[in-house]
Structure 1
Amino acid sequence: GDIFEYRLNDEYVYNLGTQKDWKTKATLDALRISVWKMLESATKQNITAIAMPKIGAGLGGLVWEDVKYVLEAAALHFPDIDIIVVENYQQVNRI
Protein backbone atom coordinates (compact mmCIF):
# COMPACT_ATOMS: atom_id res chain seq x y z
CA GLY A 1 0.00 0.00 0.00
CA ASP A 2 2.98 2.34 -0.14
CA ILE A 3 4.10 4.54 -2.98
CA PHE A 4 7.66 5.39 -3.88
CA GLU A 5 7.74 8.66 -5.77
CA TYR A 6 10.63 9.84 -7.93
CA ARG A 7 10.93 13.12 -9.77
CA LEU A 8 13.19 13.77 -12.74
CA ASN A 9 12.92 17.35 -13.97
CA ASP A 10 9.21 17.79 -14.74
CA GLU A 11 8.39 14.08 -14.85
CA TYR A 12 7.24 11.85 -12.01
CA VAL A 13 7.47 8.11 -11.53
CA TYR A 14 5.23 6.40 -9.01
CA ASN A 15 6.16 2.90 -7.94
CA LEU A 16 3.21 1.28 -6.19
CA GLY A 17 3.77 -1.26 -3.45
CA THR A 18 1.19 -3.98 -4.01
CA GLN A 19 3.15 -6.92 -2.55
CA LYS A 20 4.79 -7.36 0.87
CA ASP A 21 7.90 -8.68 -0.87
CA TRP A 22 8.89 -10.23 -4.18
CA LYS A 23 7.89 -13.71 -2.99
CA THR A 24 4.27 -12.85 -2.22
CA LYS A 25 1.35 -12.04 -4.50
CA ALA A 26 -0.25 -8.61 -4.78
CA THR A 27 -3.44 -7.87 -2.88
CA LEU A 28 -6.38 -5.75 -3.94
CA ASP A 29 -6.26 -3.90 -0.61
CA ALA A 30 -2.63 -2.88 -1.14
CA LEU A 31 -3.48 -1.89 -4.71
CA ARG A 32 -6.44 0.27 -3.56
CA ILE A 33 -4.34 2.05 -0.95
CA SER A 34 -1.35 2.67 -3.22
CA VAL A 35 -3.47 3.88 -6.15
CA TRP A 36 -5.30 6.30 -3.84
CA LYS A 37 -1.99 7.61 -2.44
CA MET A 38 -0.62 8.02 -5.97
CA LEU A 39 -3.67 9.99 -7.10
CA GLU A 40 -3.56 12.21 -4.01
CA SER A 41 0.11 12.95 -4.64
CA ALA A 42 -0.50 13.58 -8.34
CA THR A 43 -3.26 16.04 -7.43
CA LYS A 44 -0.85 18.00 -5.21
CA GLN A 45 1.69 18.07 -8.06
CA ASN A 46 -0.95 19.23 -10.61
CA ILE A 47 -0.43 16.08 -12.68
CA THR A 48 -3.29 15.57 -15.12
CA ALA A 49 -2.38 12.20 -16.69
CA ILE A 50 -0.74 9.00 -15.46
CA ALA A 51 0.31 6.11 -17.69
CA MET A 52 0.75 2.72 -16.14
CA PRO A 53 0.95 -1.00 -16.98
CA LYS A 54 -1.60 -3.61 -15.90
CA ILE A 55 -0.30 -3.31 -12.35
CA GLY A 56 -0.63 -6.36 -10.13
CA ALA A 57 -2.07 -8.52 -12.92
CA GLY A 58 1.24 -9.96 -14.12
CA LEU A 59 3.66 -11.41 -11.60
CA GLY A 60 1.43 -9.98 -8.84
CA GLY A 61 -1.16 -12.63 -9.68
CA LEU A 62 -4.30 -10.48 -9.53
CA VAL A 63 -7.14 -10.84 -12.03
CA TRP A 64 -7.01 -7.92 -14.47
CA GLU A 65 -10.76 -7.28 -14.37
CA ASP A 66 -10.56 -6.89 -10.56
CA VAL A 67 -7.62 -4.50 -10.89
CA LYS A 68 -9.39 -2.52 -13.59
CA TYR A 69 -12.43 -2.14 -11.33
CA VAL A 70 -10.21 -0.76 -8.52
CA LEU A 71 -8.61 1.74 -10.93
CA GLU A 72 -11.98 2.85 -12.31
CA ALA A 73 -13.45 3.26 -8.82
CA ALA A 74 -10.49 5.38 -7.66
CA ALA A 75 -10.58 7.45 -10.86
CA LEU A 76 -14.14 8.55 -10.07
CA HIS A 77 -12.76 10.50 -7.08
CA PHE A 78 -10.04 12.19 -9.14
CA PRO A 79 -11.80 13.39 -12.32
CA ASP A 80 -9.00 15.82 -13.21
CA ILE A 81 -6.49 12.99 -13.70
CA ASP A 82 -6.57 10.72 -16.74
CA ILE A 83 -5.34 7.19 -16.06
CA ILE A 84 -3.93 5.56 -19.18
CA VAL A 85 -3.39 1.81 -18.87
CA VAL A 86 -1.16 0.07 -21.35
CA GLU A 87 -2.96 -3.26 -21.65
CA ASN A 88 -1.13 -4.66 -24.67
CA TYR A 89 2.51 -3.61 -24.82
CA GLN A 90 4.75 -4.12 -27.82
CA GLN A 91 8.39 -3.25 -27.48
CA VAL A 92 9.61 -0.56 -29.82
CA ASN A 93 13.31 -0.35 -30.50
CA ARG A 94 14.59 3.19 -30.35
CA ILE A 95 17.77 4.35 -31.97
Structure 2
Amino acid sequence: MERRAVRLRITGIVQGVGYRWWAERQAQDLSLDGWVRNCPDGSVELLAIGDEIALERMIDACRGGPPDATVQLVQTLAADDDGTVGFASRA
Protein backbone atom coordinates (compact mmCIF):
# COMPACT_ATOMS: atom_id res chain seq x y z
CA MET A 1 0.00 0.00 0.00
CA GLU A 2 1.42 3.34 -1.05
CA ARG A 3 1.78 6.01 1.61
CA ARG A 4 1.08 9.61 0.74
CA ALA A 5 1.56 12.68 2.90
CA VAL A 6 -0.45 15.89 3.17
CA ARG A 7 0.08 18.97 5.27
CA LEU A 8 -3.01 20.77 6.52
CA ARG A 9 -3.27 24.31 7.84
CA ILE A 10 -6.50 24.78 9.74
CA THR A 11 -7.69 28.30 10.56
CA GLY A 12 -10.54 29.69 12.62
CA ILE A 13 -11.19 29.13 16.31
CA VAL A 14 -8.98 26.06 16.55
CA GLN A 15 -6.72 26.70 19.55
CA GLY A 16 -7.89 26.29 23.12
CA VAL A 17 -10.84 24.12 22.05
CA GLY A 18 -9.25 20.64 22.08
CA TYR A 19 -8.51 20.57 18.35
CA ARG A 20 -5.09 18.92 18.67
CA TRP A 21 -6.38 16.23 21.01
CA TRP A 22 -9.36 15.63 18.74
CA ALA A 23 -7.17 15.48 15.60
CA GLU A 24 -4.79 13.03 17.27
CA ARG A 25 -7.71 10.70 18.07
CA GLN A 26 -9.12 11.00 14.55
CA ALA A 27 -5.74 10.20 12.97
CA GLN A 28 -5.16 7.24 15.27
CA ASP A 29 -8.62 5.86 14.47
CA LEU A 30 -7.74 6.11 10.76
CA SER A 31 -4.32 4.47 11.30
CA LEU A 32 -2.50 7.56 10.04
CA ASP A 33 1.03 8.55 10.97
CA GLY A 34 2.13 12.14 11.49
CA TRP A 35 1.66 14.98 13.94
CA VAL A 36 -0.39 18.04 14.83
CA ARG A 37 0.71 21.31 16.44
CA ASN A 38 -0.45 24.82 17.25
CA CYS A 39 1.11 27.66 15.26
CA PRO A 40 1.95 31.13 16.61
CA ASP A 41 -0.61 32.74 14.27
CA GLY A 42 -3.50 30.87 15.93
CA SER A 43 -3.82 28.18 13.27
CA VAL A 44 -3.21 24.45 13.63
CA GLU A 45 -0.76 22.58 11.38
CA LEU A 46 -1.12 18.87 10.75
CA LEU A 47 0.98 16.36 8.81
CA ALA A 48 -0.90 13.19 7.92
CA ILE A 49 0.71 10.16 6.29
CA GLY A 50 -1.16 7.11 5.08
CA ASP A 51 -3.32 5.69 2.35
CA GLU A 52 -5.46 7.87 0.10
CA ILE A 53 -8.83 6.93 1.58
CA ALA A 54 -7.74 7.56 5.19
CA LEU A 55 -6.20 10.90 4.20
CA GLU A 56 -9.42 12.03 2.50
CA ARG A 57 -11.42 11.04 5.58
CA MET A 58 -9.03 13.00 7.80
CA ILE A 59 -9.26 16.08 5.61
CA ASP A 60 -13.06 15.90 5.66
CA ALA A 61 -13.09 15.45 9.45
CA CYS A 62 -10.76 18.44 9.94
CA ARG A 63 -13.23 20.68 8.12
CA GLY A 64 -15.63 20.14 11.03
CA GLY A 65 -13.28 19.63 13.96
CA PRO A 66 -14.36 19.12 17.57
CA PRO A 67 -17.62 20.61 18.90
CA ASP A 68 -16.08 23.80 20.34
CA ALA A 69 -14.05 24.64 17.21
CA THR A 70 -15.10 26.96 14.41
CA VAL A 71 -13.12 25.97 11.34
CA GLN A 72 -12.91 28.67 8.68
CA LEU A 73 -10.51 27.04 6.24
CA VAL A 74 -8.52 23.85 5.76
CA GLN A 75 -5.64 24.36 3.32
CA THR A 76 -4.31 21.10 1.89
CA LEU A 77 -0.72 21.04 0.66
CA ALA A 78 1.39 18.24 -0.75
CA ALA A 79 4.05 17.10 1.68
CA ASP A 80 6.87 14.61 1.97
CA ASP A 81 6.61 11.53 4.15
CA ASP A 82 9.01 12.40 6.99
CA GLY A 83 9.08 8.83 8.28
CA THR A 84 7.00 9.52 11.39
CA VAL A 85 5.55 6.38 12.93
CA GLY A 86 2.36 6.82 14.94
CA PHE A 87 0.49 10.08 15.39
CA ALA A 88 1.10 12.58 18.17
CA SER A 89 0.60 16.17 19.23
CA ARG A 90 3.69 18.37 19.13
CA ALA A 91 4.37 21.52 21.11
TM bin, normalised by shorter chain, reads 0.3 to 0.5
TM-score (norm 2): 0.36
Higher relative contact order (CA 8 A, sep 6+): 2
Q: Which structure has the highest helix share of the two?
A: 1
Q: Which structure has the highest strand share of the two?
A: 2
TM-score (norm 1): 0.35
